[in-house]
Amino acid sequence: MTTATLAIDSRNQLGEGILWCDRARALWWVDITGARLWRHHPGSGDARSWPMPQPLACIALTDSGRLLLGLAKGLHLTDIDMTTPPVDGSTLSLQPLAEIEADNSHTRLNDGRADRFGGFVFGTKNERGDAAKTGAFYRWHPQHGLHALALPGAWIPNSIGFSPDGRTMYFCDSPERRILYCDYDERGAASSPRLFATIDAPGEPDGCTVDAEGHPWSAQWAAGRVVRYRPDGTIERIVSVPVENPSCCALADDALYITSAREGMSEAALSQSPQAGGVFVAALERAFGLPESRVAL
């Protein structure tokens, strides 16, 4: 078992959605309830953030180098000058792309990821706390617009990831403590959902990424670990994280980066785990990752 160590002491309330931009050699992630977008360059150690007008649930890279932002109730596009260091506290210009469930005040966006065909797949989460599966999975594409995927409703949709060829989609409803997968095609049609893996320890599946060998890496909330699964659903390895709530992971060259959260922890718990909410890193024996998929914008 490998153990991750603290890389960025970001102290996010709900760090999530981390991804690696191979062009800029930078990590991007979100603090959902802290309503901030984060960027970190491992080469220089520079870490910066921008405030958001709503909870920021998920992000995606685009072909043009801009960022797609999944705010609580809609998708937006922003253009960040990668050559000029940002000033902390500065705001970003947001271009609206699509409203999401605007008539439902009890849901917000949650996990999301670009597919292999230029679209963006994401879920909406039931915020009422009553465990009702009122959330749904959607795909938005610049040419084809928004449509709901033919997948079961969810309370807390998570674990969205795609096989290297894009033909398999992974997903979950976190409280069910199992990861599912389904067939997926270039039109954004999801079909034949079935069981991939059941979590074998206390905790829930949260964010995931899929590597070049088709192995999903699953950050597991309340379990303090990231699990690499083989394509047949068996465990290949476990990476231990020294905080209770790892939330998402990204592969960058020969390193695994992992976001985490402080949300819901008592003062006593935080005093015992002051690194909670940070971004952690584990060294790997080789490079596993695929270049992150990009939305066709």
Task: Evaluate if residue 83 carries a pLDDT over 50.
Answer: no
pTM above 0.85, yes or no: yes
Residue 267 CB partners (closer than 8 Å, separation 6+): none
Q: Which CATH superfamily is domain 2-295 in?
A: TolB, C-terminal domain (2.120.10.30)
Helix (H) or strand (E) holding 268: helix 267-272
Band (pLDDT 50/70/90 cuts) for residue 91 is: confident
Residue-wise burial string across 186-201, b where 16 or more C-beta atoms lie within 10 A, e elsewhere = eebebeebeebbebee
Band (pLDDT 50/70/90 cuts) for residue 86 is: low
Tens of pLDDT, residues 174-212: 999 999 999 999 999 999 999 999 999 999 999 999 999
> How far, CA to CA in Å, does 119 sit from each of 115, 186, 219?
5, 9, 23
CA distance linking residue 276 with residue 263, whole number of Å = 9
Taking residues 9-27, report their average pLDDT: 97
- Tell me, rounded to whole angstroms, the distance of Cα 223 from its chain centroid: 17
User: Any idea where the domains of the chain sit in the sequence?
Assistant: 2-295
Residue 77 CB partners (closer than 8 Å, separation 6+): 62, 66, 67, 68, 69, 94, 95, 97, 297
Q: Residue 110: count other Cβ atoms within 10 Å of its Cβ.
A: 30
